[in-house]
Amino acid sequence: MSHKCSSLIVHCMDFRFQRAFTSYMEETGLMGDCDCVSGAGGIKELVECEPGENNYVWKQIKGSYRLHDMSHAVLIAHLDCGAYGGSEKFASRELEFEFHKQELAKAEHVIRDSFPAISVKKVIAEIEGEDNVVFHDVD
Ligand SMILES: [Zn+2]
């Protein structure tokens, strides 16, 4: 088996999204072809801490790029993320969505600065209704 994969996915550790992340990977062809990085807030540390060996997310991206030759990063933020204080921290769903969009843009910049060859896809996940998760692609 090849030790290469096409992609890396970064998402929050939040258990409420586990099944949805798995389905997302299957539906987008990433299952079995991506390294997975999961932690509280997903990209939060990548954005808030200096890029380098002490930045867990950055270090995983570097490892995936070097060891598995991946060339595509999928960054998934989500609404009501406890690492960011949850939805109650925001005055509206729109403001929360915009905040995560900006966070994703910052994360994309960090990746482009450190690993220019990696393309980035940005996604915001949202729980709708009981436990239906919707994935929004963002620019
Ligand atoms: Zn979260």
34-47 burial code (b ≥16 CB/10 A, e <16): bbebbbebbbbbbb
| Cα end-to-end distance, the chain, whole Å | 34
Domain boundaries, the chain: 7-138
What pLDDT, in 10s, does the model give residues 52-84?
999 999 999 999 999 999 999 999 999 999 999
Q: How high is the pLDDT of residue 55?
A: 96
What pLDDT, in 10s, does the model give residues 78-105?
999 999 999 999 999 999 999 999 999 9
Using the mean position of ligand 1's atoms as its centre, give its distance from the Cα of residue 10 in Å.
11
Using the mean position of ligand 1's atoms as its centre, give its distance from the Cα of residue 81 in Å.
4
Using the mean position of ligand 1's atoms as its centre, give its distance from the Cα of residue 1 in Å.
33
Average pLDDT of the chain is 96
Using the mean position of ligand 1's atoms as its centre, give its distance from the Cα of residue 4 in Å.
28
**Length of the chain (residues):** 139
- Which CATH number is 7-138 given? 3.40.1050.10
Asked if residue 1 has pLDDT above 80, the reply is no
d(CA 99, CA 104): 9
Report the pLDDT averaged over residues 1-15: 92
> What's this model's pTM, rounded to 2 decimal places?
0.95
Using the mean position of ligand 1's atoms as its centre, give its distance from the Cα of residue 2 in Å.
32
The position carrying tokens 């490892």 is 63
Q: How high is the pLDDT of residue 131?
A: 78
